[in-house]
Structure 1
Amino acid sequence: MDNGNPPHILLVDSYCSFAYNLAALCKKAIPFSVLHVIKNDTHSIKDLLPVLRQFSAVVVGPGPGSPNKPTDIGIVRDLWKVSEEHLVPIFGVCLGQQSLGIEHGASLHRLDTVKHGQVSIVRHTGTEIFEDLPEVKVVRYHSLHVKPLEGGDIEVLAWSEDEENGKVVMGMRHVKKPFWAVQYHPESVLTDGGGLKVVQNFWKLAQDWNMQNRSCFVPQHGLDLIHSHIWPRISQQFAAHMSQKPPNRVHYASINVPDLSILHLCESLGAHDDSKPFVFLDSAANPGRFSILACLNKSSPQFTHYVHENYITVTAGTLIQQHELVGKDFWTWLDEYRESRKVTGGDATVPFWGGFTGYLTYEAGFGGLGVPVPRRNGHNDTEHPDVNLVWIDRSIVVDASTSRVWVQSLLADDDQWIQNMVKQIASLPQSSAMPSTPLPMVEDQVSVKIPDHTQYISNIEESMECLFSGDSYELCLTDLTRITVTQEAAIPTWERYKYLRQVNPAPHSAYLRLRPTTFLSSSPERFLSYSRSPGAVCQLRPIKGTVRKLPHVTREVAEKLLAGNRKEIAENLMIVDLIRHDLHNALGENVNMTKFCGVEEYKTVWQLVSVIEGSLPGGTPIMVDDGLGWEVLRRSLPPGSMTGAPKKRSIELLQSIEGHERGLYSGVFGYWCAGGGGDWSVTIRSCFLHDSKKGSDEEWVVGAGGAITALSDPEAEWEEMKAKLNGVLRGFGASS
């Protein structure tokens, strides 16, 4: 059978947010294979049969929903029924096992206690795919399971003994056909022993079966399957359009300014003037370090885009241009813009030299998932853009840990401006800039409309039903609160930001004034950071689990409350596995978890944080490596910590349950440096004001919510949502 050509493996993805983790596991188990990936609804069995026998094996991945629903299972149910002449070895995971079972006489049942992100001990027969394995610890993501027909075609190979559910089948095989499956997730980061070895055993069994039953079969040199892709697909990175001109150089000077008041610095640059744009990315608390100020002028270009429209608007002073998106999306257009203005020569220790800064909404991430944003044609003057970025040529970066300040410019012959700015900074007062306007506390001048309690509880219960039915493992349910400030009580938005910064300091704070949006953030959560090429590394840091710092809440207490909490660990695990999938999608195999559920100390809270990193293979062309972070951002939005898993199905469910767009909330804000590298934070603990709401009674919008799991208590989730909301409401002298 071996003619020197690599074997071809077909992976069927049922719209799972863990599919590329499974792809990476398959490549590790079968290193020289060519892995083709299709969705379960892109091919009919009639389309697939002519090429099916050219594959050495098929892997049926997990996914949301039920194996009894044709729209959930797609072509998978037909794969188990092909005739002898089309048989190939198949390995099913989770939904794949359920489908194998019910297509051969098994019955489908709900678990009494759902297992989402739960670790279980699995016992097995020690045969077939479990050969040479002891007891294994595995991760389970399921609410449904199958019971094979006694004396039927399915043989049980593995099982768990749940205190709540009794015996649950965890592995099986077909007694006559080359079909094997497991109910648990072998690709999960916490599956121990039941992952790599099980897939290796499947591959050995598949090779033996092929040898005995397809003696004339030899792998082809190439195999072209329409509507599929070969994983990993690094060659499809965005930055494949290297600019022909050499990059410009960054001009800069740096000084040490002990006890610099960064708020005074902002005010010296016009933070008080609400009529002008302003950008301040503020590391207002540990573990934040660098703060970034833009030195904007009338000609600084601003880029806005609405995802249901086919153009980007570029505004520079009075000049407004619309650029049609012909044959490309906004990601590609912005990538090409940055590539054409790429720079080099800045201080390598400074994360930002200049470039794009601003925000992307929650809905801006839908395109890559194929989720529509239902909107009418056009937009009105009361809507926030989905993309709102400004290009920064002149900037100031402050290192809070060393008191070092860099003044930078991407413009040629700008040395005089740099020297003048250095002198201006050196002459600033060093005392702390405290809010100068008393916070209005007059009754009826600030009103808060929080979500309706009854409706929110109903939404939680609807979300939990989606978990019990198998449609999702975790749903990050949210809602919007509106804060009305009367015209008499309104204060400059900069003063409002200083109050928010004072009552809720955070490492990823921000004050963005980019028409038509004013954005105030005290976010604790970094989403994605990426270093400059060559050798760029992407890092994601999901937060799931928070305990407020109180006198009695020491690190030891916080670790017991967080790291010892089954619900918090399960939430974190689900998002870690989801993020690993997103990185494997963009980068291929080189993805690692460097921290799992570590308890980190912040200014006002303890947080449960995990860290996942990824990079491209060594030898990747710099032109591809340089676009790495932007590509990962595109493929990773919306943030998994704000959607749940599987991501696509969870977003669709949340659209229906919540009944409105989230807008800026649950999106990201940050920067993409002109020299490569970037840093984006999750838009939580933030509020937003539209220009149309200025000049009369202001209406600020705040989002808050929480991850709903099978272990959730509705009233506790309601209280958690309000607690998160209060972090921002305190900046208005209000509470929920």
Structure 2
Amino acid sequence: MRTSIVKTITDSDQFKHQLLTWAQQFREVVYLDSNHYPQKYSSYDCVLAVDAFTLIQTDYHNAFEDLKQYQQQTKDWLFGYLSYDLKNDIEKLTSNNFDGLHFPDLFFFQPKKLFFLKGNQLEICYLNFCDDEITDDWNEITSLDTNLSQTTSDINIRQRITKKEYIEKVTQMLGHIHRGDIYEANFCMEFYAENTTIAPLGIFSKLNAISEPPFAVFFRNHTQYLLSASPERYIRKEGNKIISQPIKGTAKRFEDPLQDEKSKQELAQSAKERSENIMIVDLVRNDLAHTSTKGSVKVEELCEIYTFRQVHQMISTVVSEVEPTTQAVTILKTTFPMGSMTGAPKISAMQIIESLEETKRGLYSGAVGYFTPNGDFDFNVIIRSILYNSHEQYLSFSVGSAITAEATPEKEYEECLLKANAMLNVLKIK
């Protein structure tokens, strides 16, 4: 049983730093931060879930059914992730590429301690709590010094695929498109470092500060970390309403206001970027139709331009309605993996992606988020993110772009490097 108390926060930004610093003592951590980004669909500015009371972690075999049973049995707040490779539970697909991270395909936990921040109101929600425990934790959090030193070793980042290899592989993908096997696919490449020690909290703080995305995540499962500056929502459930907000289309930011506005307008008017976005909107509409009530799938926004600290993005918003009896996990299973990270037709695109990419995606291009006790949920898309296994001392991040018939391999490579900038900067590449 959960009981909540509410407190008023005078400095929300300072408190968020203290809260995340305090959370480092726990084996399981999910910290979600919207960075004050204006959103139509949002429940909280910041959420922290720590310390598993129960948990589930598994490979892809029967994973969605296991998650459904776990979610129905607990009927509580659950936080965790869906890795990209759960595609193998949905379709007859495989993931045989190199994996240096070794994360479980699925991980969720029922936290003992929860913090929800909205404006200056903080709700503290503990499982089987006592007043003394909350008071002790509150005093510890609010007295923390967040300027603690963080040590990170020199990081030697390497590319799994060279520029020459990338161009060759994208050319092969264009061959599939011209033959009609697919008409769009998201192709990704990995940057990685071996024998590396980082301070995850310090790296996340830098990444979040330079990006300020609406779906930032600090995730920890013992020795496995996700440090995410994602701008993209995968899917959200509010009562009977489902919201998906795919991103397709990226443009560079500039310090000069006139040049920055020009870049934004060029993105808005780009026939190529609009075409990519609309293809994925059609795919999302089709995915949502599997669980929607008749005639309820609608496009609320088509190819709108959103501005972030690092880039301008083209985002669409697709919504639907579901019956009250529709299971939350069923909605996820019928829409996963998200169209923006796969392609169309989805199954063919995923097969071709697997054959051309050289790294198992794992958590990259999967989703992190939560279920509420009444079966609502909210999940992001894992992009612009650093993955780290402290036991293996292996660090990884991947970037990608949508390949269509109009794609130029060299320009797609440049787009990948643009997306990699934030991660490269915070890791201080030498």
TM-score normalised by length of structure 2? 0.90
Shift of 1:699: 2.1
- Residue of 59, 75, 100 corresponding to 1:306: 59
Name the counterpart of 2:120: 403
SS at match of 2:205: helix
Name the counterpart of 2:214: 507
- Are 1:585 and 2:290 matched, yes or no? yes
- Are 1:612 and 2:318 matched, yes or no? yes
- Residue of 323, 329, 347 corresponding to 1:648: 347
The residue correspondences of 1:232-243 to structure 2 (distance < 5 A) are: none
- Are 1:547 and 2:251 matched, yes or no? yes
Shift of 1:434: 5.3
Name the counterpart of 1:84: none
The whole-number CA distance in structure 2 between the counterparts of 1:609 and 1:586 is: 23
The residue correspondences of 1:660-679 to structure 2 (distance < 5 A) are: 660-679=359-378
- Residue of 278, 282, 304 corresponding to 2:29: 278
Name the counterpart of 2:78: 356
After superposition, give the CA deviation of every residue in 1:498-534 in whole Å (9 maximum; x if it has no partner). Answer: 22223333221111110342111111111111114xx
Shift of 1:438: 7.3
Shift of 1:553: 4.6
Name the counterpart of 1:365: 87
The whole-number CA distance in structure 2 between the counterparts of 1:602 and 1:588 is: 34
Q: Is the 8 A contact 2:152 2:199 kept in 1?
A: no
CA RMSD between the two structures = 2.6
- Residue of 427, 436, 441 corresponding to 2:149: 436
Amino acid at match of 1:547: A
Shift of 1:301: 2.3
- Are 1:689 and 2:406 matched, yes or no? no
SS at match of 2:157: strand
The residue correspondences of 1:405-420 to structure 2 (distance < 5 A) are: 405-411=122-128, 414-420=130-136
Q: Is the 8 A contact 1:364 1:386 kept in 2?
A: yes
- Residue of 402, 405, 414 corresponding to 1:710: 405
The residue correspondences of 1:469-480 to structure 2 (distance < 5 A) are: 469-480=179-190
Structure 2 unmatched runs, 5+: none
Name the counterpart of 2:65: 332
Shift of 1:662: 1.2
- Aligned CA distance change for structure 1 residues 362 and 434 (closer, same or farther; 3 Å): same
Tell me which protein shows more helix as a share of its residues: 2
The whole-number CA distance in structure 2 between the counterparts of 1:526 and 1:361 is: 15
- Residue of 438, 458, 468 corresponding to 2:168: 458
After superposition, give the CA deviation of every residue in 1:95-136 in whole Å (9 maximum; x if it has no partner). Answer: xxxxxxxxxxxxxxxxxxxxxxxxxxxxxxxxxxxxxxxxxx
Name the counterpart of 1:296: 51
- Aligned CA distance change for structure 1 residues 434 and 572 (closer, same or farther; 3 Å): farther
Amino acid at match of 2:277: N
Amino acid at match of 1:408: C
Shift of 1:539: 0.2
Shift of 1:689: 1.6
SS at match of 1:725: helix
Name the counterpart of 1:256: 8
The residue correspondences of 1:70-89 to structure 2 (distance < 5 A) are: none
Shift of 1:395: 0.2
The whole-number CA distance in structure 2 between the counterparts of 1:553 and 1:336 is: 52
SS at match of 1:396: strand
Q: Is the 8 A contact 2:49 2:111 kept in 1?
A: yes
Q: Say which one has the larger Rg.
A: 1
The one of the two structures with greater contact order (alpha-carbon pairs below 8 A, sep at least 6) is 2
Shift of 1:647: 0.2
- Aligned CA distance change for structure 1 residues 539 and 660 (closer, same or farther; 3 Å): same
- Aligned CA distance change for structure 1 residues 670 and 305 (closer, same or farther; 3 Å): same
Q: Is the 8 A contact 1:407 1:421 kept in 2?
A: no
The whole-number CA distance in structure 1 between the counterparts of 2:195 and 2:36 is: 28
The whole-number CA distance in structure 2 between the counterparts of 1:634 and 1:559 is: 35
The whole-number CA distance in structure 1 between the counterparts of 2:222 and 2:150 is: 24
Shift of 1:615: 0.9
Which contiguous aligned blocks of 4+ residues in structure 1 show a shift greater than 6 angstroms?
Answer: none
The whole-number CA distance in structure 1 between the counterparts of 2:400 and 2:310 is: 19
- Aligned CA distance change for structure 1 residues 646 and 265 (closer, same or farther; 3 Å): same
Q: Is the 8 A contact 1:295 1:396 kept in 2?
A: no
- Residue of 274, 280, 293 corresponding to 1:569: 274
After superposition, give the CA deviation of every residue in 1:34-70 in whole Å (9 maximum; x if it has no partner). Answer: xxxxxxxxxxxxxxxxxxxxxxxxxxxxxxxxxxxxx
The whole-number CA distance in structure 1 between the counterparts of 2:342 and 2:411 is: 19
The whole-number CA distance in structure 1 between the counterparts of 2:271 and 2:312 is: 17
After superposition, give the CA deviation of every residue in 1:686-724 in whole Å (9 maximum; x if it has no partner). Answer: 11122432xxxx320111110011111111111111111
Name the counterpart of 2:395: 700
Shift of 1:729: 1.6
The whole-number CA distance in structure 1 between the counterparts of 2:274 and 2:147 is: 39
SS at match of 1:594: strand
Shift of 1:382: 6.2
Shift of 1:671: 1.1
Structure 1 unmatched runs, 5+: 1-247, 309-328, 343-353
The whole-number CA distance in structure 1 between the counterparts of 2:371 and 2:349 is: 28
- Aligned CA distance change for structure 1 residues 268 and 597 (closer, same or farther; 3 Å): same
After superposition, give the CA deviation of every residue in 1:462-502 in whole Å (9 maximum; x if it has no partner). Answer: 0111111101111111111112465xxx3422222222223
After superposition, give the CA deviation of every residue in 1:286-332 in whole Å (9 maximum; x if it has no partner). Answer: 236521112316xx223211125xxxxxxxxxxxxxxxxxxxx3222
- Aligned CA distance change for structure 1 residues 690 and 530 (closer, same or farther; 3 Å): same
Q: Is the 8 A contact 1:481 1:703 kept in 2?
A: yes
Shift of 1:414: 4.0
The whole-number CA distance in structure 2 between the counterparts of 1:511 and 1:407 is: 19
Shift of 1:547: 2.1
Shift of 1:633: 1.2
TM-score normalised by length of structure 1? 0.54
Shift of 1:580: 0.3
Shift of 1:660: 3.9
